Amino acid sequence: MSSLLAHQRYGQGEPLVVMHGLFGSADNWRGLARRWSDEFAVWCLDLRNHGRSFHSLGMNYSQQAEDLLYWLDSEDLEKVNLLGHSMGGKVAMEFALRYPSRVNKLLVADIAPVRYEHTHAAIIDGLRALHEAEPWHERREADKFLADFVSDVQTRLFLLTNLVRAEDGLRLRVAIEEIARDYQSIIDAPPAMAKDRSFNGPTLVLRGQRSDYVTDELLPEFKHGFPNLELAELDAGHWLHAEQAEAFGQLVSDFLTRVEK
């Protein structure tokens, strides 16, 4: 399998690269990407061990930033706008701190550059069990099985987008064992934050008012690494781009098209 990140492209124009969160994929951004494609060339990536991208040991943000650099070079993209949600937001921040000359504007959706104590233990256990019981012949059977681990219906629907059709039935495409093995790296802070690096370009942080991922107490951490910071809030939880897609899409468009003084 190629070590190049898989992607989906929409539209023409100034490049906007979008990165999903943990257990997500480029597919989750299809609707917003089509909206933005009227103004930009939108590239939605599958990060390592997710979607159609390669499976590999290691999930730390230095590795993922290198994945992104390799992909940008392969596409001859010298400088891009970078948007990441959750885990993808940490990849975006690490990349912008390490390679600031490659980023025009940075957008971070509902994540801060800190270590979290949030746990996905039940989800990881559920996906591991789902993987061990493959193949699945009906999605509703898999959903019923996963409900023993994850009670929230919307979360299960999101997780089950990782079940894809194979010759013998439905199989999990997310590399759950590789993710579980290096889960500590995923909840950790972007390592470049500890090296006193900074990205001085325009930075927009979008947070959900009903999410606890980006609290006021964490804003000084942001400003340490991203001094040219703006904050926008939406009446949403952690999946603000799905819950408030229209408002989220407009905030992103306005920020990217604004002429900086």
Residues marked active site are found at: 86, 238
First to last CA, the chain: 45
Show the tokens assigned to 14. 């100034």
What one-letter code names the amino acid at 172?
L
What one-letter code names the amino acid at 85?
H
